[in-house]
Amino acid sequence: MSTATDTPSSRAPGPGPAAQREPVLSVRDLRTCFEQRHATVQAVNGVSFDLHAGETVGLVGESGSGKSVTGYSLLGLIDAPGRIAGGSVRLDGEELVGLSSQGLRAVRGRRLAMIFQDPMATLNPVLTIGAQMALALQAHGYVPRAQARARCVEVLRQVGIPDADRRLEAWPHQFSGGMRQRVAIAIALLHKPQVIVADEPTTALDVSIQAQILTEIHQLVRDSGTALLWISHDLATVAAIAQRVLVMYAGRIVEEGPTRAVLKAPRHPYTAGLLGSLPQSSTPGQPLTQIPGAPPPLDALPAGCSFADRCARAEARCREQAPPRQSDGERAWRCHFPLHHADAAAVPPPSRAAVAPAP
Ligand SMILES: Nc1ncnc2c1ncn2[C@@H]1O[C@H](COP(=O)(O)OP(=O)(O)O)[C@@H](O)[C@H]1O
Ligand SMILES: [Mg+2]
């Protein structure tokens, strides 16, 4: 009998739990820091996770937790005074950390693509949409003109741009914010990459456009077998599209697991706190529950748990010892005193929308 474990090809989104297949992207103990005059900012502090073909994984956390730096690190987009200080990023088995800039350029855009919060980070204001898409397509080898044009029209249609043929002649300033982001997504899709890193791509858009683009990206990656790392501070978008979630705090993954399970019964008090901050979980008109306090400075991390100062469950041990990663198989957490299901009832329950199964 053929099972998922019999087919190591990580590009095929075959049946069976993702955990049984080879990951397409494997990140181990990734460390990225920024050297400052008197201190070192540890923005990404030993992050490990896997992405499988056809899978969407959410990376969530408050602002400043290191989500974007993680995303940029995967693509080798860290510039001085930042550097990747350690760890490994393997794309289909190939190590990307330490690759030359030429080697990285060959991977970036073709096998591993990024969608930024601001589409103008991708788009050149002085080129027509068609011209920049053609450039992006030709960056990895010659494609005959007619074929290039057909591919550009095809991806523009896929991302819901009507009249794509004519739109190739337009300039970015002639598009709305939502349309510009669709073009940036189309460019990310051009080469059918194995992995897409999307860094808050809908955060700057109207809520209704956000929902449309979210649904479209979800369908596109599912249909193409692309793995998607969906970075967001917004648990609701993660709940809508991610099968698994990684919760990041002060440069570390503090909790991870199947989205539904994690949001329904968080183990880490930080995750529970984030859920309490969801707009849907509070009564209309009531202020959001905020996690009290602020994250520790990343250039002077405490010896113990980084969350201890803000945690109602913290005891002396939490301030002394950094909690190791603990796992029960599908789920993992870094907490000396994790919440259990009975405790979880004590935290504000996430709304129905927040725990909806990933479609
Ligand atoms: N260019 C930089 N120089 C110094 N520190 C930086 C730089 N970029 C990011 N950082 C540090 O990394 C932390 C994490 O940033 P970031 O990944 O952008 O957070 P997030 O995307 O989760 O909001 C920031 O709080 C900041 O301390
Ligand atoms: Mg960010």
When pLDDT is cut at 50, 70 and 90, the band that residue 9 belongs to is very low
Tokens representing 148 are: 């290039």
d(CA 62, CA 288): 14
Q: Is 154 contained in some domain?
A: no
Going by C-alpha positions, the residue among 160, 279, 153 that lies closest to residue 213 is 160
R_g of the chain computed on alpha carbons: 21
Question: Of 48-52, 124-128, 181-185, 213-217, which range is least confident?
Answer: 213-217
pLDDT at 1 over 90: no
Quick one: pLDDT at residue 157? 93
Is 67 a pocket residue for ligand 1 (Cβ < 6 Å)?
A: yes
Residue 239 DSSP SS3: helix
Q: Is residue 160 part of a domain?
A: no
User: Which DSSP letter does residue 95 get?
Assistant: E
Q: Is residue 85 part of a domain?
A: yes
Q: What mean pLDDT is predicted for residues 213-218?
A: 89
254 domain-assigned: yes
| Residue 68 CB less than 6 A away from ligand 1 | yes
Mutate to test the pocket of ligand 1, among 30, 31, 33, 34 (most ligand atoms within 8 A of CB): 34
Cα–Cα distance for residue pair 144/169, rounded to 1 Å:
18
Task: Indicate the burial class of 277 (C-beta count within 10 angstroms; 0-12, 13-18, 19 or more).
Answer: middle
Residue 63 domain-assigned (yes or no) = yes
pLDDT score of 258 more than 60: yes
Q: Indicate whether 99 belongs to any domain.
A: yes
Nearest partner of 89 among 35, 43, 34, 50, judged by Cα: 50
Q: What is the CATH number of the domain that holds 33?
A: 3.40.50.300
Nearest bound ligand to CA 63?
1
Tell me the C-alpha distance between 348 and 275, whole Å.
7
Least confident of 51-65, 313-327, 329-343: 329-343
Per-residue model confidence (pLDDT) at position 206: 86
Measure the CA–CA gap between 350 and 277, rounded to whole angstroms.
Answer: 9
Give pLDDT, residue 318: 97
Q: Which residue from 31, 44, 68 has its CB within 8 A of the most atoms of ligand 1, so it is best to mutate? A: 68
Question: What's residue 352's pLDDT?
Answer: 39
Average pLDDT along the chain: 88
Question: Within a domain: residue 273?
Answer: yes
Q: What is the pLDDT of residues 222-248, one digit of tens each?
A: 888 999 999 999 899 999 999 999 999
Residue ID of nearest Cα to ligand 1 atom 5: 34
What pLDDT is stored for residue 320 in this prediction?
97
Instruction: Say which DSSP state 279 is in.
Output: G
pLDDT band at 340 (very low <50, low <70, confident <90, very high): confident
**Ligand 1 pocket test, candidate residues 33, 41, 47, 70, most atoms within 8 A of CB:** 41
Residue 351 has pLDDT above 60, yes or no: no
CA-nearest of 14, 12, 189 to 111 is 189
The minimum-distance atom of ligand 1 relative to the CA of 62 is: 22
What residues contact residue 235 under an 8 Å CB cut-off, 6+ apart? 60, 263, 274, 275, 278, 350, 354
Q: Which two tokens stand for residue 213?
A: 């683009």
What residues contact 314, with CB distance under 8 A and at least 6 apart? 305, 307, 308, 337
In this structure, is residue 165 part of a structural domain?
no
- The residue contributing the CA closest to ligand 1 atom 19 is 64
Residue keyed to tokens 């939502």: 178
- Is the pLDDT assigned to residue 310 strictly greater than 60? yes
Confidence check: pLDDT of 18 > 90: no
- Tally of structural domains, the chain: 1
Compute how many other C-beta atoms are within 10 angstroms of the C-beta atom of residue 62.
18
pLDDT above 60 for 2: no
Give the per-residue pLDDT at 65. Answer: 96
Range of lowest pLDDT (33-37, 56-60, 65-69, 354-358): 354-358
% of the chain residues with pLDDT over 70: 86
Domain boundaries, position 79: 23-111+191-280+302-354
Give residue 204's pLDDT band: very low, low, confident or very high (50, 70, 90).
Answer: confident
pLDDT of residue 285 exceeding 80, the answer is no
